[in-house]
Amino acid sequence: MDEEQLVRFLQRKFSFPNGRGIGDDASAQRINPSATWGSRIVAKDLFVEGTHFNLHHYSLAQAAEKSVGANVSDMAAMGGRGMEIYLGLGVPSRARTSDLEAVFSGIHKACRRWRLRLGGGDVSKAPCWFFSVTILGHALRPVFRDRAQDGDLIGLVGRIGESALGLALLQRNTPDSFYTRRHIQVNLHLGAAEELGRVASAMIDVSDGLLKDLSRILSASQVGAEIHIENLPITRRMKACCRQHDLDAQQLALTGGEDYALLCCIPPQRLKLLKGNGERLRIIGRIRSSPQRLTCLLNGRTQEIPAGGYDHLSNNLSDSRESPEFDNPR
């Protein structure tokens, strides 16, 4: 069963409220129509040893911290702010006391960094380390994936492909400390998320690659898009590093995951409402009306989409990158 099939199956089986179906970064519910503080947002992300991380690359504290960061990113991509987390922790029998201390040091660091409270959780023996984090928070104006419209500008805050480059270098045993850090640590853009949340028609965090995450917006909104590859934020440093290691910077930027950049769609007339963080926003393309058709342009000419990009959705569940989130939008 691939991701789309699972989502369709779940949509048939469970009556997600308002018939909006599933597929956002998090779920959002209005708690109290008269309250001024909007909607409650809940997100849940798994981070499993052997699937999402291995301990040759991560310390336990780093893995624990990243498992929280990925959830904060999902919350931010909904225009929300996290308040507290609940941790389900799988512990292999080889674990020592110092390992548990390391895990909770990472959780503690994440809680301080992103101003979260550890609300509770559960610990169990398991065949591998895993982190199952549920984050609770709220948003004044939740932003979904299904409201992108023809003509919206496609914007990006943060760099893309650098986490994948860091991982590729780690896997080749030619680590580069800068890109290792880009892979191991979660760099979030919470200020930008807050500001973008007020104006964006749709938003998502780039956790599975630009093309894949953009395709989720297109699919949910029933629109198409064109991306101008020359506008992607690929640094000279990244280009040089990729050349040196015979890697394709453009492909990494289009398909690499776990950068936690923010990808949003903004009606052009709302662009002027952006203040400070508007500077950090790169316009990389535009939403088009042709349903779910994605065109990549380089200097005005159509560029072939690299392997591992837009077609990822047809891969099997056993591909680690295919882990579907089935959060629903209301």
Closest CA to 77 of 256, 263, 249, 231: 263
User: Residue 280: left (phi > 0), alpha (psi -120 to 50), or beta?
Assistant: alpha
Rounded CA separation 105/64 (Å): 8
Q: Which residue type sits at 59?
A: S
3-class DSSP state for residue 226?
strand
Stretch that binds a copy of itself, among 24-32, 141-149, 158-166, 201-209 (CB under 8 A): 24-32
Q: Which of 27, 221, 250, 251 forms a contact with a copy of itself (CB under 8 A)?
A: 27
Rg (Cα) of the chain, in Å, rounded? 19
Size of the site for a copy of itself (CB under 8 A): 65
Backbone angles phi, psi at 205, to 5 degrees: -95, 145
Positions 71 through 90 that interact with a copy of itself (CB under 8 A): 86-90
Rounded CA separation 85/134 (Å): 6
Positions 126 through 145 that interact with a copy of itself (CB under 8 A): 126-128, 130, 132, 134, 136
Q: Which is nearer to a copy of itself, 43 or 156 (CB)?
A: 43
Closest CA to 73 of 207, 210, 220, 164: 207
Stretch that binds a copy of itself, among 97-105, 199-207, 212-220, 252-260 (CB under 8 A): 97-105
According to the binding rule CB under 8 A, does residue 48 interact with a copy of itself? Answer: yes
1: tokens are 């069963």
Q: Which of 43, 63, 68, 227 forms a contact with a copy of itself (CB under 8 A)?
A: 43
According to the binding rule CB under 8 A, does residue 327 interact with a copy of itself? Answer: yes
Cβ 84 to a copy of itself shortest distance, Å: 8
DSSP of 238-294, one letter per residue?
HHHHHHHTT--HHHHHHH-----EEEEEE-GGGGGG--GGGGG-EEEEEEESSTT-E
Stretch that binds a copy of itself, among 1-9, 175-183, 192-200, 235-243 (CB under 8 A): 1-9
According to the binding rule CB under 8 A, does residue 121 interact with a copy of itself? Answer: yes
Q: Which of 8, 30, 32, 198 forms a contact with a copy of itself (CB under 8 A)?
A: 32
According to the binding rule CB under 8 A, does residue 305 interact with a copy of itself? Answer: no
Q: Which is nearer to a copy of itself, 95 or 229 (CB)?
A: 95
Please, what is the angle between helix 60-77 and helix 190-199, to 10°?
20
313: tokens are 């959705």
Q: Which is nearer to a copy of itself, 118 or 305 (CB)?
A: 118
Cα angle 67, 72, 78 (rounded to 5 degrees) comes to 135
Helix (H) or strand (E) segment spanning residue 190: helix 190-199
According to the binding rule CB under 8 A, does residue 117 interact with a copy of itself? Answer: yes
Cβ 176 to a copy of itself shortest distance, Å: 28
Cβ 129 to a copy of itself shortest distance, Å: 10
Q: Which is nearer to a copy of itself, 207 or 251 (CB)?
A: 207
Q: Which is nearer to a copy of itself, 5 or 222 (CB)?
A: 5
Rounded CA separation 9/305 (Å): 29
Which residues of the chain form contacts with a copy of itself (CB under 8 A)? 1, 5-6, 9-10, 13-14, 16-17, 22, 26-27, 29, 31-32, 35, 42-46, 48, 50-52, 86-91, 93, 95, 97, 100-101, 104-105, 108, 111, 117-128, 130, 132, 134, 136, 317-318, 320, 323-328
